[in-house]
Structure 1
Amino acid sequence: MLFISINSTYLTLNTSIIIYYYPLVTSINEVTETQPHVTIYGNFGSFNINNNNDSTSIKPGLANITIDIDGSIYTSTKDLNIVPLVIEDQCGDHSLCSGNGYCYKRRCVCSKGYGGFICESQINQESKILPDDSLPSAVITSTTERFDISIVSIQELDYNDHIVKDVLTPSWTPIIPINQSIHQYSFKHDGYIEVIATLQTTTNMSIQTIFAGTAITLDTNTLKVSIAINGWRYRSNLNTLRVVMKVDSEYQHIKSCIEPSLTNGTSPYDNNLQFIRLNYNGSALYGSFLPVGLSDGRPFYSFNQLINVSSSSPAGTHGNSTSSTSYIGINMPQCRQCVIDPNFNILVDHADGSSNTACLDAQSATSISFDTWKIVTIVVVCGVALAATITGAIVYFKRNANVKLERKRIETRLKQLNI
């Protein structure tokens, strides 16, 4: 953004001009390792794409791309995702999705009332979803668990994933509710950034929808969170955005030898976070992430990551409860409007911890919590664009090197603001 000030006998002017960077990529179509054609959207005029790899195919995973137009450079290591020609089946034993769904394009589609990565658990129909009146956050509760889901920060990252701008989002303005199941909130910053968050609860019926070209089924007792970021003014054409969401979890102990646990799964070829599981005594919050988003209305590749997890026993509880905080990062390229779309619910496994049998020893209980998980669904999407000369080099996630540093920084900053 460029500020202009003119003072003369005939004119006084103080204004700002929005600068759109050149070259710039905002979205790119999905590419397989043998696909010869790539479609790129952005601001770059016309150019040729060269494959600098000597082989006829490019290795799966994140690839390095570069656009050079008369000396003006756009380069990225996190926009272009090469999809393997053959993807491992992720539908469980014998591709049966635990007998509670069916396998479609190597992923499970669960039958009504079931959830989890391989449809292994039932959705808890007794859980309650309580949206906040003033903030785009919601509490999901069951008999022994409470999960508080919120948006805490929007960050601008440079090429090396260092944070160059960090906008915390503690204050929102509620918008008049559309109906009892849909709540909207507005957040404005610096006079030009606007974020619209929408919370939708599906308490009485399931909903089928499509986001970024991906079919999504929202079962009953699901929280759907849509976040649209408009008007962000980037400091460089190489910078990107990341939304940070927080899940505060609290568990009431009913068996002293069972402790809460968290597990997560990542894609085998690009390390993208696929799901998280916050488990305790037969129920869990499950987060499932799609590696796509919307940038200016077009699908883009989104890298999701678990930034940090911490746990403690709240003061005054005398060991009767345990709490934990998880931070999840949703990355997106540059866009004028970026959209993400997470969904949440609580799943339950009646075979795990719900009976009145004697408490298992700690080792067995920990093993069960890893084997019989259940949860909430977070489907994430955001928007942005990418473009470039494909070098075919696999970039093995440089951002992991900065994760530890970011964990400390985020925790310190949020504690200072009592978030």
Structure 2
Amino acid sequence: NRTLSNCKFQTLSFVNSDLRSLSVLDGDLQGTISSYSLPQSLEVLNIENARSSFLPTLSQIPNLKVFNIPDNIIVSTNYLPAFEKLTFVNCSNSQISGTVPETYCTIPNIDLKLNKFISIPNCFYCHWSVVSNWFSGNTQPLGTPSGFVCPFSVSQNIFRVLSVGEMLPFTGDNLGWGLTGSDQALHVVTPNKAFSYDFPPKSQGITEKLISFSSEVSVLFKWEYYDLTIGSVVFTQNSQNVTVVIIGQFDSSSKVFLNNIEYTPVSRNVTTIQLKLNTSFKEGFVVVRIQSTKTSTAFNSVYKRSFPIINSASIAPKTGGQVTLYGSFYYLNDNGEINPMPSTITPLPDTNTGRSLLQITEETQDLKVYVNGAQCPITFSNSSIVIFSAPSQTNGGFVNIIVENISYNFTSSKVLYYEVVNNECSQACQNDGTCVAGSCKCVGDYYGPTCQLKKPAANSYSLKSDETKPSATYSFEKVDFEFSLKSVQEISIDGSVVKQINTTDWKAQQVQVEGLGSATQYTSTQTTGDTSIDVIVAIIDKATTYQFAGVSMDLEPNQVKVSMNISNWDYDSSLNTLRAIFISSSKSTTNEDSCQSNEQEVGSQTNGDSLLSFTIKRSGAILFGQFINRMLSNKIIAFSDVEDLGVVSSINYVGINMPHCSQCLLDPDFSVLVDPQFDSNGSCKSNKAWVVPVAVVVPIVAVCALSVLGYIVLKKHFYLSRDGRSFKLTRRGSRPSKYSLDSIK
């Protein structure tokens, strides 16, 4: 800033200056305009009573905002400079002649009294009653010309208004300055060009009003009310960004928040808002909030990536070698567009490995695979599979895998599993049983983890299925054991439960299942969206061998075979997986403790990280649960991690982990066995126990037709329990808002 007082100048020069404000007070500016060089950076020019005889030009100071030159003698020109950025002008008593530029219509503060103007713009005539004092004392009177009609206009006079009321902008010509005589709800943005109006709330019952801009000009405004709403939110994953399209009813200036972070729209109108997000935007639950000045609305949505996704992986040998990832991966077609994921997947046999591979017809772009930090060579890839060479691992079990695809990463420590080879049985096999691949192979009527148990006599119990719900009943003695599929959970990458689904209502019908005979199919009536849920319960009437997930199972008469399929699970994230929670517990049905053991005892056997079997002993009886750690995902044999979740309030919890599958099959079997010393009348001939074993096979199949084995789509759960003298396989359900072991007790 520079102030010069009581000075006489012949010339002034501010070459290469960034001066913003110049004041010349009570001085004498002689010479012509060419004698003075003013900086273009100047924003404030204040020349008061300095006997200046010239006016600066627009080209000299184009950024001028304050033009204050009262009490001078301007004789070298007959016009005011058409400054375009002025917010204040005072040229009073300076003997300026000529015309007032149109650009002065947009200046909020004006004082042009005591000059010699011969004409002014229409904007002043339109509102002469409130601006005439700005030109008082002009040598030539400047009143409104005879027959003058103001060329007033507004861009709109019909509006959409939020029910709570809102301030809406509009534009026009010759709108005035919002001074005396104008409507109090009018607010000036730019004089004569842009205004806003503060519309009342719907509760006032007003939908139209005559709006006064001055005593000379008014216009009728009409409006209708609406509520701020979000109807839908669509996330679309692209190669370089994520687009979000929000559909609803919006005002023109509302702010957009995703999970309380503000985002600037790339485009918007009253029904559609579009955002662009970075590729790092986190998957999962998203709260979309639209915030206007007086109200807001929110919408719960989910962002899920379409690539890269790994549904399953083949089991890796400890020595390393070929591994296949099944899922969805990004690649461009010949038109530069993202190739869509095929709706069906047809596996082809691989004669080298015995595993199923997909037809390889396209080349995935920008794809890398890392196992425990080491980059792996990729041998084949397309939009649905990636085949790579995995390194060797000293120990078996899960390893960390990273898939980099374009600018997105998939990271998980629960997808790629190295085989654990254990050929020794943890306990000696009894009754002529032999150890085969770490498990006892029993002969004759013997059964159990060490072949020490037998099936009870056929006349010691009865078995039947329920006609209204997925349930079968064993009528037995002395002890109640419950074994149930408590829930199906969605698990986030950090191991937390994000969703849990249960159901209780069913529709039943009789069906024939290939290889198993007559069965009852139960269809849930509580599903939503594309999710379909079925359960098939078959009571085995003759001995048969059942093959599943590369495992052979011998089914005996009076075993209960249950098939359950979770289809089209609505995941919250492409990184999330599923887990089935099984619970087991026991209680005595009599006060008599004939076997001298009324306290519950829990034991388990594992292979590496995976649970293979568990036992619950009470009152001399044992519930035996057995699992295999194999499954099918997209018709590919993969690893299923079974985990012991511990005991809570005398209930034993077991979790069976599944990958990010679109259809997930659970396939348990139920039967009863006893110790050879067990007396069906309820007494113990020795301290040996009798047992109720439960063999549970948990495969997961994507794109699996029901006709293959009547496999059904389950999203919920059932259990084996006892009511009085009966064991029951039946459904249970609960839906807590937060999920943990405590929430499913």
Whether 1:184 and 2:521 are equivalent positions in the alignment is yes
Greater Cα offset, 276-285 or 292-301 = 276-285
Partner of 2:695: 377
1:99 aligns with 2:434: no
- Write the mapping of 1:270-349 to structure 2, written as runs, cut at 5 A: 270=609, 272-307=610-645, 309=647, 325-349=651-675
Query: CA distance change for structure 1 residues 218 and 304 in 2, over 3 Å: closer, same or farther?
Result: same
Alpha carbons of structure 1 residues 331 and 51: separation in structure 2 relative to 1, 3 Å: closer
Q: 1:262 to 1:76 in 2, by over 3 A?
A: farther
Distance 1:114 1:276 in 2: 18
8 Å CA contact 2:656–2:698 kept in 1: the answer is yes
Are positions 1:90 and 2:425 aligned together? yes
TM alignment of 1:408-419, pairs within 5 A: 408-411=742-745
Of residues 261, 264, 269, the one that matches 2:600 is 261
The 1:35/1:194 distance shift into structure 2, 3 A limit, reads same
Structure 2 equivalent of residue 388 of structure 1? none
Q: Once the 2 structures are TM-superposed, how far is the Cα of residue 158 of structure 1 from its aligned partner?
A: 0.6
Query: What corresponds to 2:415 in structure 1?
Result: 79
Quote the residue 1:59 is aligned against. Answer: 395
Indicate conservation of the 8 Å contact 1:60/1:83, yes or no. yes
1:138, 1:147 → 2: CA distance?
14
1:330 corresponds to which letter in structure 2?
Answer: I
* 3-state SS of paired residue (1:409): helix
Structure 1 gaps of 5+ residues are: 8-15, 312-323, 386-404, 412-419
Question: Does the C-alpha gap of structure 1 residues 345 and 327 become closer, same or farther in structure 2, counting only changes over 3 Å?
Answer: same
Q: Are the structure 2 counterparts of residues 357 and 149 from structure 1 closer, same or farther at C-alpha, using a change threshold of 3 Å?
A: closer
Q: How far apart in 2 are the matches of 1:143 and 1:87?
A: 38
1:208 to 545, 552, 569: 545
User: Separation in 2 of the partners of 1:128 and 1:25?
Assistant: 45
Q: Structure 1: how far apart are the matches of 2:685 and 2:436? A: 38
Question: Which of 568, 581, 593 is 1:244 aligned to?
Answer: 581
Per-residue deviation, residues 35-67 of structure 1 (Å, max 9, x unmatched): 222122111254443445788534212211111
Q: Is the 8 A contact 1:341 1:379 kept in 2?
A: yes
Q: Which amino acid aligns with 1:219?
A: E
For residues 268 and 377 of structure 1, do their structure 2 counterparts lie closer, same or farther at Cα, with a shift above 3 Å needed?
closer
User: Residue type matched to 2:589 in 1?
Assistant: Q
Which of 564, 568, 572 is residue 235 of structure 1 equivalent to? 572
Distance 1:65 1:144, change over 3 A: same
Q: Please, which moves more after superposition, 298-307 or 339-348?
A: 298-307
Q: What is the CA–CA distance in structure 2 between the aligned matches of 1:27 and 1:219, rounded to whole Å?
A: 32
Kindly indicate whether the alpha-carbon contact (under 8 Å) linking 1:299 and 1:383 is maintained by their aligned counterparts in 2.
Answer: no
- Partners of 1:183 and 1:121 lie apart in 2 by 30
| Structure 1 letter corresponding to 2:560 | L
The residue that corresponds to 2:316 in the other structure is 31
Residue aligning to 1:219: 556
User: What residue number does 1:193 align with?
Assistant: 531
- Structure 2 gap segments, 5+ residues each: 1-231, 235-244, 249-300, 331-363, 375-390, 704-738
Contact 1:285–1:347, Cα closer than 8 Å, also in 2: no
* Structure 1 stretch displaced more, 193-202 or 256-265: 256-265
Identity of aligned pairs, percent? 27
1:171 aligns to 2:491 (yes or no): no
Q: 1:142 aligns with which of 447, 468, 476?
A: 476
- d(CA) in 2 for partners of 1:242 and 1:50? 26
The equivalent residue for 1:11 is none
> In the superposition, relative to structure 1, how do residues 127 and 376 fare at CA in structure 2: closer, same or farther (>3 Å)?
farther
Q: TM-score, normalised by structure 1?
A: 0.74
Assess, with a 3 A threshold, how the Cα gap between structure 1 residues 347 and 280 changes in structure 2: closer, same or farther: farther
SS in 2 for 1:342: strand
CA displacement at 1:113 relative to structure 2:
2.7
Q: Distance in 2 between matches of 1:112 and 1:79?
A: 39
Q: Deviation at 1:310?
A: 5.4
Deviation at 1:250, TM superposition (A): 3.7
1:21 and 2:355 correspond? no
TM-score normalised by length of structure 2:
0.43
Residue 404 (structure 2) aligned to one of 68, 89, 96: 68
CA distance in 2, matches of 1:206, 1:282: 29
Task: Tell me, in whole angstroms, the C-alpha distance in 2 between the residues paired with 1:216 and 1:127.
Answer: 23
Query: Residue 32 of structure 1: CA displacement?
Result: 2.3
Cα distance per residue 1:124-160 (max 9 Å; x no partner): 2434334332222333342223445444422111112
For residue 167 of structure 1, report the CA deviation from its aligned partner. 1.2
Native 8 Å contact 1:100 1:110 kept in 2: yes
Alignment size in residue pairs? 359
Contact (CA 8 Å) 1:18, 1:233: kept in 2 or not? no
Name the counterpart of 2:740: 406
The structural deviation recorded for 1:217 is 1.1
Deviation at 1:215, TM superposition (A): 0.9
**What residue in structure 2 maps to residue 391 of structure 1?**
none
Partners of 1:139 and 1:30 in 2: CA distance: 38
CA spacing shift, 1:251–1:221, aligned 2, 3 Å: farther
Could you tell me how far apart the structure 2 residues matched to 1:2 and 1:198 are?
A: 37
Are the equivalent residues in 1 in contact too, given 2:672–2:691 (CA < 8 A)?
Answer: no
| Aligned equivalent of 2:369 | 49
- Secondary structure (helix, strand or coil) at the match of 1:334 reads coil
CA contact (8 A) 1:333 1:383 kept: no
Provide the residue aligned with 1:315 in structure 2: none
Q: Mark the CA change 1:160 to 1:284 in structure 2 (over 3 Å): closer, same or farther.
A: same
- SS, match of residue 276 in structure 1: strand
SS in structure 2 at match of 1:406: coil
Q: Which moved more, 1:37-46 or 1:48-57?
A: 48-57
